[in-house]
Amino acid sequence: MTTAVAPSTLTAEDRCDRCGAQAYLRVELQTGGELLFCAHHAREHGDALKEIAVNLLDETHKLQDTPATAPQTDD
C-alpha cells in the first residue's frame, strides 16, 4: 500500500461539479479522476459514490455545527 498523500482539506475554492456550490465531499475515483460535491449532492449521490470511490473525503459535518435543539431551561 502506498498512500503517502497527505490528507488535504476542501476549501471555498472547491466547487460542486453539479451545481457550483461550495464542495464538502471529494471523491477519488478508481479511474484516477476526482469529483467534488456540495453537501446537497453528496447526500443525493453518496451511496453510489461510495461504491466507485477509492478515496472519500467527507467534510459535510462542517455544515452541522449549529445546535439542532434549543438550550434547555431548568425550572
Q: Which residues bind Zn ion (CB under 5 A)?
A: 16, 18-19, 21, 38, 41
Q: In the complex, what is the shortest distance from the CB of residue 34 to Zn ion, in angstroms, rounded to a whole number? A: 15
The distance of closest approach from Cβ of residue 53 to Zn ion in the complex, given in angstroms and rounded to an integer, is 17
CB closer to Zn ion, 35 vs 38:
38
CB closer to Zn ion, 21 vs 52? 21
Which distant-in-sequence residues (6+ apart) come within 8 Å of 4 by Cβ? none
Query: Judging by beta carbons within 10 Å of its beta carbon (0-12, 13-18, 19+), is residue 10 exposed, middle or buried?
Result: middle
Euclidean distance between CA atoms 44 and 2, whole angstroms? 31
Report the nearest approach of Zn ion to the CB of residue 68 (Å): 23
